[in-house]
Structure 1
Amino acid sequence: MPKLLIVDDETIFRKGIGLMIAEMQSDWSVVDEAKDGVEALEKIELLQPDLIITDIKMPRMDGIQLQYIVKERYPHISCVVMSGYNDFQYARESLKLGAKDYLMKPFERAELYTLLDRLQAEMAVEKEQLTTNKKDKQVQSQMRQHVLAGLLTGSIHHGETELLDNVGVQFPLPYTSCLVAKLDRDSVTDERYYQLNPSLFSVYIQQFIQESIEKPLLGYVFILNENEVVALINHEDTAASFADIEKLTNRIRKGIRGQSNFTISFGLGGPVKDLESISKSYKEAGLALLYRLVIGGDRLLSSDTIAEMTMEKLEWHTADWNLLNQYVQEGDLVNVHLQANQFVTKLCQQWRDPELIHEQICKMLLHFYELAVNLTVVKMWLQGTDMKQVLMEIYSISSSKELSERCQKLLGDLSVCMVNRKKKFVTSPVELVARYVEEHYAEPITLNMMAEIAYLNPSYLSSLFKSKQGQSFIDFLTEKRIEKAKAMLLHSDEKIQVISDSTGFTNIRHFNRVFKTLTNRTPTEYREGKQTS
């Protein structure tokens, strides 16, 4: 039974279409409704309809944007668009995106029924063909993605033309230029950015670029990562093609800005003649994009535009991080975010060289890394990564807003670690460890684990524990487990194996041996109340 989702911001249309289809007495099933593209995407992920009937003009995300994303993420789902008489130019755009048909509002019942009957018949044929070809296409698509990404890293060379042919990638023209597109984060409100899955912006940008590339430019467009869309443009002579690429990017930026109300920036690498050099063009595109930090986004950036800029050599004294340092250690999260944002914003406004901006931010982060090392909170702060990876990530960010958000997040997390550290030291480290053993005696526990919890060196903790408790940590842990086992032996009917497992012993032999050493009885004798001779 084919499933259908209706998307329209007017309730009366959604309900009316649903009623028409219910009265059709066909196999079609209306699985749900949505009032705009954002809500539709949530329901598409959950319900996986076969067909979407969508209006074009809707708030938050219109039908055109919805189609771009559906085409990329759910290519098996068909779309039919609805439009008023004055919206036909949008309907035409939808047909270019692969819409199966369009319905002009208001439409007749018979028109809808004829369309659905036709689509159901087409779907039956397509489903049969899809079953045959789906696996091969998926494999080829994944291989193509790997090959294209490999070109950017320089791991694929000119002699591997057979590999390129196998995945349908060809560069017949003499030159190739790398074009990298990124969302201008400051053109999107936080509410809109986090309401959607951020990766959807890249999906939309990829589809828009792919649809916009026309002859004489040949391009392969793909998403390299969540924040980066890459187009490899294969072209003729360099001078004329630069003008064509510039026109292309201007057209794309204007289209996205007009249709979707956000902006993007492009970085363009220089033209290269061989496959091995595509990685060089990609690096140049990334370097050009860094200059968004100082001249803003919504533009095409290339080595030529950078060369035209006048680099100001500013005198900059060592940054004063005392106030920020104070807020971090106090756990004042609001002021940490405020000061971090002010620091990054001031750098980007006053400096004209992205490399120096990144350098100052990395110096600031290394200052706080040293603080985290001294207070033994690095592991808690960085959560499985290391400072080298953090600094590499900082150098890859070319948006002042993203740079500010990343610094706010890093320093905010460190501030929370400071607060938690203070809370844990309200009691002494020995009391903290003793309480942990009391609550977690059934779990695997080691001295090293306790040292991490108490933020102390293991050998120092061992010495401190013995001086305060009058016994070693291991003896204390063992006695605690035996105490719990004795209580269970007296007050429960559990098997001894179960009691051994429940009190943290690795095996029953070890449990029996330790129990007898400390009590002069076996667990069975203790339960029965018998004295050993």
Structure 2
Amino acid sequence: MLRLLIVDDEPLERQAIRYLLAKARPQYQVVAEGRDGGEAVALGREVRPDVILLDIKMPVMDGLAAGRALRRLLPEVRMVFLTAYDEFAYAQEAVALGASRYLLKPVAGEDLISVLDSLAQEIEEERRIQEEAQKWRAALEEMLPLIRLGFVLDLVSGHIAGEEVKARAEFLGLPSLPRLAIVIAIDNFPARPAPVKEAERQFLKKRVLQVIEERVSPWPGALAVPGFKDEFLLLLPFKELDGRPRLRDAVTRLGEEICAGVRELTPVTVTVGIGRPVDDPALLATSYAEAAVAVEYRLLYGGDQVIHADDVAVLPRSSRVMASPCGKELALAVRLGDREKARRCLAQIIAETVVGKEGRPPVFKVRFLELLSVAAQAALEAGADPEDIAGMVLQGSQEILTLESLAEAENKIGSQLQTLVEKVVGARERRNSNLIEKAVAYIKQNYHRDLSLEEVARHVFLSPCYFSRLFKQVRSENFIDYLTRMRMEEAKKLLLTTDYSVNEIASRVGYRDARYFGQVFKKQEGCTPTAFRKTGGNHHEAELDG
């Protein structure tokens, strides 16, 4: 149906057009009539017609002036200008205003009907195209989650080239390209329940994803999707790779916010593994592999925390890990330095794939060489010294090739595997010890300031949560207890060797509030700072004498 607005200062002209339409095209509806340009603009705003029949010569505001105003107000409206003056200037300006047609008065009925029929066909075709486009947009909107998921999985698996990355990112409307991968794993997800409860399990995963999306919403262009098993993948974009420490701090804070949000709003917790940034988005598979390895360390250090690839000095996970679940479990056990799990995995692999071949030397030698290669690669990924590993693998391979007995080969590969695990454990302990000693040196230099755990963690390039757990593991006391003990030791020395006031000593050992310092001191030493000074540090003996 065509909706028309007729504007002419002659009532008879308007009546004639109405009569013609009622007789020839009753399906076309006249929604309003106007007598001048001013009414044309007001009525156009109110009724928003499809077509306006607009006389040019009218009082108050002529049709051309009204046409200019209506074009601004209704960009898509069709305007048909009518005039009794066959002047080129009028026709020229009407065309400039986007007139659909220009007709001379008196307008022949068949000409007007022909024009309106043509416009009705144009409008109908446009509406059809718009409806079709709307359907496509709605379908596309419905498919966007799957499109995003496919894009993320292609990126982290390395199945996408540089130009395609840009094209697909542009299609998804990303303001900048993803450059860093994060793996978010549910820590304490209940074991898969009976089928009737699977809906509850999926609802919980959806809620965790919603929390992730809420926390990452201030980061334009971030992509959060369900990952493998009970994990989620998060890709973050940024334009510049300068200032990587600042980037790491920002991403770590985001990870901590995700952990806190999931902890507060769901019955589960998550561990956030963060990979390193890459220069080329097509290399995101590397960042993902680092994040996937980092998140595995929750099995060693506990969940509900952020673990950066730099925290555990990981290398990207090898793509050559054997396809069998036992092979993957063996590689994981070596990376984590889990001696018992590595022994069990080896026994299972031998039982399933070696003994079944009747223990023939060619079979078990090839299999054991493959196992040694997988375990060595996992040890390298975990930060073991490459020279140590290379020498050991070379010697171990030569020894395996000389053995003819399956029992001897089993003992040899078991011994070599345990050696690899020990090297991983030793390398990790040395690294952790070095990092914590560096942190302790920083604490000793800065304990007199208002020193926070976050500041010390930044100094050694660890996330605060991971640093806190590592500090306690290495020093057998938590950060705040160690800092307090160090401050108290210095306070006792100042009390016994100087004339500084208690207030000044409190300030010198990092306490702004002298009263609070006194409370902490008494809790640690069993007496006030003043009493400690008076007794020369022998307040316990003084109490016994009393």
The TM-score, its normalising length taken from structure 1, stands at 0.34
